Chain A
Amino acid sequence: MKRLLLTISVLILIFSACTDKFEDYNTDQKNPANVPASALFSNAQKELSDYYSNTNVNINIFLMMSQYWTETTYIDEANYDLVNRNIPANIWSRLYLRVLTDLKEAKNLIEATEVLPGLEARKKNQLQIIELLNIYTWSHLVDVFGAIPYTEALNPDNVYPAYDNGPAIYDDLFTRLNTALANLDETATSFGSADLYYGGDVSKWVKFGNSLKVKLAIITADDDDAFSKTAVEAAVANVFSSNDDNCLMAYMTSAPNYNQLYADLVASGRHDFVPANTLVDAMNTLDDPRRAAYFTMYEGSYIGGTYGYPNSWSQYSHISDLIQTPDFPGIMMTYPEVCFYLAEAAERGYSVDKTAEEWYNEGITASFAFWGVADVDTYLAKPEVAYTTAEGTWRQKIGIQSWIANYVNGAVGYNNWRRLDYPILNLPEWVEEYSGIPVRFTFPINEQTLNKDNYDAASTMIGGDLISTKLFWDKN
């Protein structure tokens, strides 16, 4: 009997003595508590490119907004249904949660790391490169929504971040951009191979930063021409000088590291998209040889699906095989894109080394080169293409050609259409409730419940949370 009592007592002692392990129990043994900053930076780069280069109807519908493509059977997004799939919330989720937070964390980790004096320059470069990606991402968010939480964003202790208006954010982004450019040191290294865009080449980042400055300045030129002039003229000497400088994400051939366009177009096994007649007809008119790189032929010709209407997939041109390869690069910013900004700058009377026509031709030439299409001279000589003889104002000429050249970069196409009002997009009238092509995206619906007061204030600030509310830089 005593033995029994003893045994029980011992058992109790053994068991009740093990609370010291409680700390270990509640420590995650399968996920890291510490990671290198470069791992967060690489991840943010990939997430940014994945977001930018996809055509998932839940996330990125800019290929429809720019009428490069249209849908076959399920035509809601081509008819601008932003609500059914919560597209605005998904954009925020991608950019705030996956890109900006990781960039912020990478920055914090780098800043907190003491380095040897010899590595100070590298550390500084890393911080500037992070800053450039931040600026790129923030400006995209402004371009889509008009106003966004910015100064109060990315702080989980403030769960009700106020919105900042677009012009104020852009002002701050220019300041940040100038600071970053001033602090980049081309003689030093940066992230090395962890930089998935430029392999750590700081000189490329300098060009990227200056090109980005031109881009942002041209986007806002209708709002503050004098400011943009100064900005563009300060940057023009150091922008991209050829396709070699393009900011691309070199995707790989297998999941999860292949191009997200491949995931949506090929791996999904679905046939949801065909090139839109808007683009195909325009290129047919110009007999544009880039069609072979952009589309496939249907029965010997290029036929685009009627924008916004149901289209039988079998009976139209398809997206080219090149674009549907798994390692097709993610296009973040290209030389042709920048050329057209500079052509526009020249037309606005900014001093940009070359004339509008020269930059226009350079843009088209670089675009042919980028897509591996020959015989650009013949194309440039066509009266409908040649800058002096092509139809319309500079807004029309540059609008049409930059639209064609920026193919598959839907966000740029959508921006340029809003600024330049060209090309003339088709009105989808299949859905009878249709009421105009959106000139901005509405705020995520969950902001109305999770951040209501600030949502209301922001709606008032921009003139209503509507798809018809124009952005501050969209003057016409």
Chain B
Amino acid sequence: MKTFVVPIIIKYISHVLEKLSALLINPKICCMKRLCVFLACLVFVGINTLQAQRTVQITGTVTSAEDGMPIPGASVQVKGTTVGASTDADGKYLLNAPDNATTLVFSFVGLKTQEVEIGGRTSIDVVLEVDALTLEEIVVTALGISREKKSLGYAVQEVKGDEVNQVKGDNFLSQLSGRVAGVQIKSNTNFGGSNNIIIRGSSSLTGNNQALFIVDGIPIDNSNTNNSGQVSGRNGYDYGNAASDINPNDIESISVLKGAAATALYGSRAANGVVLITTKKGFNTAGKGPQVKLSSNVTFSTMDKSTFPEYQLEYGAGYGKYYYSDVEDGHPGFEYYADVNGDGITDFTVPYYEDASRGEKFDPSVMVYQWDALYPESPNYLKATPWVAGANGPDTFFETGIIKSENIDISGGNEKTTYRLGYTYFDQNGIMPNSILKKNNVIFTGTQKMFNDKVTVTSSANYIKTNGTGRPSTGYSDNIVSGFRQWYQVNVDIQQQKEMYDLTEQNITWNPSEYSNLAPAYWDNPYWVRYQNYETDGRSRFIGYTQLDWDITSDLKATTRYAIDTYSELQEERKAVGSGSGEFGVGRPDVTSGYSRYARDFQETNFDFMLTYRKKIADMLDLSALAGTNIRRTRSESVFVSTNNGLAVAGLYALSNTIDPMDLPEESLRIIGVNGIFGSISLGVLDTYYIDATIRRDQSSSLPTDNNTFIYPSVTGSIIFSNLLKQDWLTLGKLRVNYAEVGSSAPPLSVKDTYLANSPFSGNSMATVSNTKLNSNLLPERQKAIEGGLEMNFFRSRVGFDLAFYKNNTINQLMPVSISFATGFASKWVNAGEIENKGVELALNGTPVKSGDFSWDISVNWAKNVNKVIELYVDESGNEVKNLQLAGLQGGVTINATVGEPYGTIKGTDFLYHENGGKLVNPANGRYYKSSANDIVIGDVNPDWNAGIRNSFRYKDISLSFLIDMQQGGDIFSLDLWYGMATGLYKETAGLNDLGNDLRDPITYVNDDPTQGYASNSGGLIEEGVFEDGTPNTVRRNQENYGAIGYALDPNKRFVYDASYIKLRELAITYNLPHSLVSKISMASASISFVGSNLWIIHKNLPYADPEASQGSGNIQGWQSGVMPATRNFGFTLNLQF
């Protein structure tokens, strides 16, 4: 058996070394980073080869002091190691402890943890006492300060690292979804894409509403560098958000600080809540050598067909039946002007240059020249083929994705020193052809105690390299999936497109312009796009810190920390010679080929110094106080540059290969400096009454220099009333209340006006006045938050809940408010506006069954947030701005902040309604009437509530857990259906009407006389609605041509869908190999798991797409165009521990 394990270890180690050496020789890493990696290597190499240790078998029984009954599932662990076991149904355990083990730790939820000296015994029985105040739970709070959870006056919810590490994905944020009440995560379907994370609602009108990520006290940049065109739904790529660099393998625990009181010490940037992550650290292995953990995962992804269109398969290419007017020939939907085969006779051809399916009805007996008859390389060159639906639809374009993830984790130490080295390799192939994402992540953390253990130095270095290839494009134009969902011919066989691409590696598209001009009309061969027009990107990131903790006296402690988060990223986009024309590069002109580079360097440093004082006075008063300073510098610099008017030489992706001289690059440099000082004081009386107060003063470089400081306080209080009631059934009862204010600074460069330089014209410099008027009198914006909560646990914590209520108002918002264009500006920076968020969060925990070999735990999270824009901007003379448009999107819809409405309303055209509520139909043509105004609120992107239910079951060595995640409410405008219905792609656009005739048949009347009623062979449909007199509609609506339904002839409102969903987010079954077996091969533990994610969308109301899909993270949500289908992921994980 040993011979089986060793090769695996050797394989891992050599793999790690190979990756590390690759990192070392990477020229992009600066010297300092290289040094860190090198040091990490040395430590790694220095680790002794693993050796089998002698073990001692210890057995015993664990019983409860309360009733004397055995406790199944109690944990027994060798202190200072991860060697352990759990008790069986009879409370018995069997443990193979290392022969030098000294102490065993027995624990069980709701009972007091007990440490027992082994003292040479081989049989140890233990009686566990009930823990009166079970929740001596320690949680990490702001600035990394560990506190007893019971003493806190605000809501904190913790998630264990294991929970977010079961499913292997490109962004661990997805795994947080449904686990924390009040945290709304939108995991979009873009491969490697960004996730929107909003805590307790959006509070800033135009600023960043994403939560702040802090890892071991270091703020981690979570920028989304998707460009403005991509964000507002034009073409582009979703490059993901930078917090996805955080490696779930390294996470020990996550603590979510939701309210302003919890985050007040972090200052201005934490107004949106904080996700506080603590990484795993080394520990004292008492000279027994390191602990090694290996984990290997393979996951498969397949398209979830419920999130992809179902096509009609009755009609093919064309926008209608008007291409050939001589109806005698019977094919008005075909063209009849070209002699394709050269026999001197004009041929019927398909309007292949069109990207819709409202043409001729399929008829296998009709032979017609299609796209494949035009290319000499095609087997059907100059051949007519039967007019039928494509044998392989766009769903066959998607492949099975594979994720491979491997992790090695080595940790250990002694009394003075600890260390941990982790390395993870992640490799994902998406369901789109040629989409690849790779990540290498290496982390080293070490601690050293010195000066008589009074000083501890901690250092950590984390290097992350992420490389993407072929991310799917997003948005309306130049996006394969928007083609599939909006603009397509169902007569096309997608596999035939693949064959043609594989054969020729040319852009042989189903959509050529003309038979005499084969340039693509609108759409390229999708395989050409995937294999030629792919992007590549890379991010090379270093996160590190050095921290010094000094116990000056037993009560007074000083901490200094210097932390850096820095990365370089490069995004290269390509458009190969021979592609169809599309927006590309600087200034987004239409070109048929090109190459662009977006390079960005980011750096943030934080220097913190803190003094903390803790004192217990007379056994009844706990006092702690803190004072500190934070000095932050953030610098972000980018350059975007591209070829102009195409590539001179095909296949050479270099800027010098530009045809015309390059247009001016887009450059940006943004620097922020914040100097903060803060203090807090906490008092606890009799372990029952607690009060905390904090204050912070920030000075920010992005505000006008003469007025750039602001101060904000918080105060919290709590009472543990269970200590007063002293009831057996009540394990814990706590009431808490708090009030906090948080100030926020302006974005940099919003104070002083500048001009913008445009490309020179014939040697003349060109400049323009910016469209945004800046403001030299900006003040900080301010959030005022009040929160109350009740936390209760019953019956030795078998059941418990945590209930929170809050109300946050963000006032004096800094924003570029839209103003009349007649002012000469599109927007103007002002301090104005107020958003209110109020809500309820409920977390329930319970253990319904705990007997024998079986246990069942359940946790439920539920949160409702109500968001309202109270005010936008009122000028001196009392004129009020009532609407702030966040984005104007394709389809004529806008996303807005409107006074009196929730933040993020969808506006557009609506139906007209009868007073009885029915939709008014125009008796002239059977269509719905459409409002003339296009600024009517037709949707709200905010959900009514979110919830998650997690169940976990354990039976002997097998455990099963699953998470159901749900959202109620929230709206989405589907551009996919708005256009796709018009172009006749979806199955609803064909089939039979109420008379049993084809919907798309012409409308006919008895004796051709409309007054005599419809003929029995009439096509068209009768929309559900009423006439102006309130009677039901009886007029048929013609369904023959483009726009017969959807698009401009229907109100936008028709394509607004409810975004509710219920998803089986995660399912994991784990089998822990029996200890008796594992110990024989010198392992401490081994397990194998089946893990699935997004396996089943149990319920949704949006047809053919995932309601969570969007163009990316940010404030512009509630609009879908060309979104990727969702994937079902399932795989296996092997975990080994030595």
Chain A positions within 8 Å of B, measured between CB atoms, are 1, 4, 8, 11-12, 15-16, 18-19, 21-36, 38-40, 42-43, 46-47, 73, 76, 81, 83-86, 89, 92-93, 96-98, 100-102, 104-105, 148-149, 152-156, 158-161, 193-194, 196, 250, 252-257, 263, 267-271, 299, 309-310, 312-315, 432-433, 444-453
Contact = CB atoms under 8 A, between A and B. Distances in A.
Interface in B922-942: 922, 924-925, 932-935
- Chain A CB count within 10 A is highest, among B667, B675, B769, for B769
Contacts of A315: 323, 335, 337
B822 A255 contact: no
Nearest to A24: B671
Given A25-B701, A97-B771, A450 B322 contact: no
Contacts of B663: 255-256
6 contacts: A26-B703, A27-B752, A32-B767, A156-B824, A314-B514, A315-B335
B879 interface: yes
Contact of B754 (A24, A32, A89): A32
Interface string B501-522: 0000000000001100001111
Interface in B812-846: 818-826, 828
A240 B933 CA distance: 45
B667 A30 contact: yes
Nearest to A73: B319
Contact of B925 (A86, A253, A256, A432): A432
Nearest to A306: B322
Contacts of A256: 587, 589, 663, 758-759
Nearest to A44: B768
A257 B818 contact: no
Contacts of A73: 319, 354, 1042
Contacts of A446: 818, 820-821, 885
B515 to A, nearest CB: 8
Interface string B721-765: 000000000000000000000000000110111111111011111
Given A39-B765, A86-B888, A193-B762, A149 B820 contact: yes
Contacts, number: 278
Contacts of B184: none
Contacts of B700: 22
Contacts of B671: 24-26
Nearest to B704: A26
Nearest to B605: A15
Interface in B557-571: 558, 560, 562
B612 interface: no
B935 A445 contact: yes
Given A12-B629, A153-B823, A33 B762 contact: no
Contacts of A46: 761, 766
A249 B765 CA distance: 16
Contacts of B519: 269
A42 B590 contact: no
B660 A22 contact: no
B832 to A, nearest CB: 11
Contacts of B607: 11, 15
Contacts of A159: 819-820, 823, 828, 875, 879, 881
A185 to B, nearest CB: 23
Given A40-B768, A46-B766, A84-B1048, A29 B645 contact: no
Contacts of B759: 256-257
Interface of B: 319-320, 322-323, 335, 337-338, 351, 353-354, 451, 455, 513-514, 519-522, 548, 550, 558, 560, 562, 580-582, 587, 589-592, 607, 609, 629, 631, 644-645, 659-661, 663, 667-669, 671-673, 675, 699-703, 705, 708, 748-749, 751-759, 761-771, 773, 818-826, 828, 875, 879, 881-883, 885, 888, 892, 922, 924-925, 932-935, 1041-1042, 1048
Given A32-B755, A40-B768, A155 B824 contact: yes
Contact of A33 (B323, B660, B755, B925): B755
A35 B888 contact: no
Nearest to B881: A450
A26 B522 CA distance: 44
Contact of A153 (B587, B675, B756, B824): B824
Nearest to A21: B673
- Chain B CB count within 10 A is highest, among A254, A268, A444, for A254
A267 B591 contact: yes
B924 A42 contact: no
Given A31-B754, A32-B755, A254 B660 contact: yes
Contact of B824 (A83, A104, A194): A104
Nearest to A43: B766
A135 to B, nearest CB: 17
Kindly list the 5 A-B residue pairs having the minimum CB-CB distance in the complex, ordered from nearest.
Answer: A269-B581, A254-B660, A149-B822, A22-B701, A101-B824
Contact of B764 (A4, A39, A312): A39
A148 B354 CA distance: 41
Nearest to A444: B821
A16 B677 CA distance: 10
A4 B560 CA distance: 11
A255 B589 contact: yes
- Chain B CB count within 10 A is highest, among A36, A97, A153, A193, for A97
A148 B822 contact: yes
Contacts of B770: 31
B824 A268 contact: no
B673 A105 contact: no
A42 B822 contact: no
Contacts of B819: 156, 159, 450
A201 to B, nearest CB: 15
Given A4-B455, A253-B660, A314-B335, 12 more contacts: A12-B609, A18-B673, A19-B673, A35-B757, A101-B824, A155-B823, A257-B759, A263-B589, A263-B590, A267-B581, A269-B581, A271-B513
A31 B763 contact: no
Nearest to A268: B590
Contacts of A267: 581, 589-591
B756 A255 contact: no
Given A154-B822, A161-B822, A84 B892 contact: yes
Contact of A26 (B580, B701, B756): B701
Contacts of B702: 25-26
B749 A271 contact: no
A379 B659 CA distance: 43
A28 B888 CA distance: 28
Given A26-B702, A86-B888, A267-B589, A35 B767 contact: yes
A39 B752 CA distance: 20
Nearest to A249: B761
Contacts of A98: 768
Contacts of A16: 629, 631, 675
Nearest to B751: A26
A288 B764 CA distance: 40
Contact of B761 (A28, A105, A257, A268): A257
Nearest to A1: B451
A352 to B, nearest CB: 36
A323 to B, nearest CB: 17
Nearest to A30: B667
- Chain A CB count within 10 A is highest, among B645, B699, B763, B828, for B645
A36 B671 CA distance: 27
Given A22-B708, A92-B821, A97 B826 contact: yes
A421 to B, nearest CB: 27
Contacts of A149: 820, 822
B182 to A, nearest CB: 32
Contact of A161 (B587, B644, B823): B823
B15 to A, nearest CB: 40
A96 B322 CA distance: 42
B752 A33 contact: yes
B581 A96 contact: no
A448 B934 CA distance: 11
A269 B520 contact: yes
A52 B525 CA distance: 36
